[in-house]
Amino acid sequence: MKIALIGYGKMGKAIEAIAKENGDEIVLKISSSNQNEFTADNLKQADAAIEFTNPHSAVENIKKCLDANIPVVCGTTGWLKDLPEIKNYIEQKNGTFLFASNFSVGVNLFFALNEYLASLMSSHQEYEVSVEEVHHTQKKDAPSGTAITLAEQLIEKIKTKKSWVNDKTNNESELEIISKRIDDVPGIHTIKYNSPIDYIEIKHSAYNRKGFAGGALLAAKFIAGKKGIFTMKDVLGL
Ligand SMILES: NC(=O)C1=CN([C@@H]2O[C@H](COP(=O)(O)OP(=O)(O)OC[C@H]3O[C@@H](n4cnc5c(N)ncnc54)[C@H](OP(=O)(O)O)[C@@H]3O)[C@@H](O)[C@H]2O)C=CC1
Ligand SMILES: O=C(O)C1=N[C@H](C(=O)O)C[C@H](O)C1
């Protein structure tokens, strides 16, 4: 398939490497230095666009792809306060869109595990739940999008938790998310349940960016030729 890469940084390059192995063609690569090439005519060469940029440019980039009537997969995190606006735009344009805070198959299985464990733990209030995420020092947003997805799943299942905070907290209704930034760590997410007598944790560690990149390509193949808003659950049949 033919792909437009919006964002040609760490993720854009990881996607390009896997696309080449798969025999997919990258027909457009956009970064901040060649915005003049980010045109509807150029986008229309692609079957789908894959957007991995930064929290400040994602909304505008997604809209440009929808304006060109190109299905768009977005992995950029840190912009989701604007999701309702994007959903309206997709409806207006009869567009195609898939966002995931994390495209790796492993993390999407981990999301399912998180939901299951949280439903078991919901009736055991002696366990205090918290989230920790560790990423590389170039990461612009905190907490990670993945940590927010995990926290939202926990808040849905564990009724004592009403909201999350990206800090230490002694407020029982707040779910603590601790963010750490270390060298070039691709991404580690841990859910911790601590009680006065024991401790349970589940943890996902990415060894590299291949899982995120491969998942984004799977998503692009899934949405090409479809209309509407999709998730990785649709792609993976979870
Ligand atoms: N959902 C998922 O599975 C994953 C999500 N992410 C998220 O993806 C995003 C990108 O991550 P990563 O690749 O590591 O970041 P990088 O900083 O390495 O790359 C970002 C790229 O976006 C480009 N860019 C900046 N502004 C624009 C713009 N207005 N239009 C087009 N391109 C632009 C940059 O260009 P230049 O260098 O010229 O400024 C750069 O090429 C982050 O939000 C991150 O959290 C990351 C991994 C997995
Ligand atoms: O910025 C990153 O690198 C990553 N971002 C995503 C997030 O915010 O959850 C996914 C992954 O953990 C890597």
Backbone angles phi and psi of 224, in degrees to 5: -55, 130
When pLDDT is cut at 50, 70 and 90, the band that residue 79 belongs to is very high
Q: Ligand 1 centre and the CA of 132: distance in Å?
A: 22
- Counting residues of the chain whose pLDDT is more than 90, the rounded percentage is 100
Q: Can you give the pTM of this predicted structure?
A: 0.97
Q: Are 184 and 136 in contact, with CB atoms under 8 Å apart?
A: yes
pLDDT at 21 (0 to 100): 96
Give the chain's mean pLDDT: 98
Please name the helix (run of DSSP H) or strand (run of DSSP E) that holds residue 78, with its range, or none.
none
User: Based on the number of CB atoms within 10 Å of its own CB, is 234 exposed (0-12), middle (13-18) or buried (19 or more)?
Assistant: middle
Q: What is the ipTM of this complex?
A: 0.99
Amino acid symbol at 193: Y
Q: Ligand 1 centre and the CA of 53: distance in Å?
A: 3
pLDDT at 104 (0 to 100): 98
- Secondary structure (3-state) at 9: coil
Q: What share of the chain is helix, strand, coil (3-state, %, to 5)?
A: 40, 25, 35
Q: Are 189 and 132 in contact, with CB atoms under 8 Å apart?
A: yes
Question: Which domains, from first to last, does the chain contain?
Answer: 2-103+210-236 (3.40.50.720), 105-205 (3.30.360.10)
Residues with CB under 6 A from ligand 2: 77, 101-102, 135, 139, 144-146, 187
- Counting atoms of ligand 1 from 1, which one is nearest the CA of 139? 45
Q: Measuring CA to CA, how many Å separate 155 from each of 129, 146, 173?
A: 10, 14, 10
Catalytic residue among 2, 10, 93, 139: 139
103 C-beta closer than 6 A to ligand 1 = yes
Q: Ligand 1 centre and the CA of 7: distance in Å?
A: 5
Q: What is the largest CA-CA distance in the chain?
A: 63
Determine whether 135 is an active site residue.
Answer: yes
The arithmetic mean of pLDDT across residues 19-44, rounded, is: 97
- Counting residues of the chain whose pLDDT is more than 70, the rounded percentage is 100
pLDDT tens string 200-229: 999 999 999 999 999 999 999 999 999 999
Please name the helix (run of DSSP H) or strand (run of DSSP E) that holds residue 110, with its range, or none.
helix 105-121
When pLDDT is cut at 50, 70 and 90, the band that residue 83 belongs to is very high
The arithmetic mean of pLDDT across residues 71-87, rounded, is: 97
Q: Are 39 and 192 in contact, with CB atoms under 8 Å apart?
A: no
pLDDT tens string 144-174: 999 999 999 999 999 999 999 999 999 999 9
Helix intervals (H) in the chain: 10-22, 40-43, 58-67, 83-93, 105-121, 145-157, 210-223, 232-236
pLDDT at 187 (0 to 100): 98
pLDDT at 133 (0 to 100): 98
149 C-beta closer than 6 A to ligand 1 = no
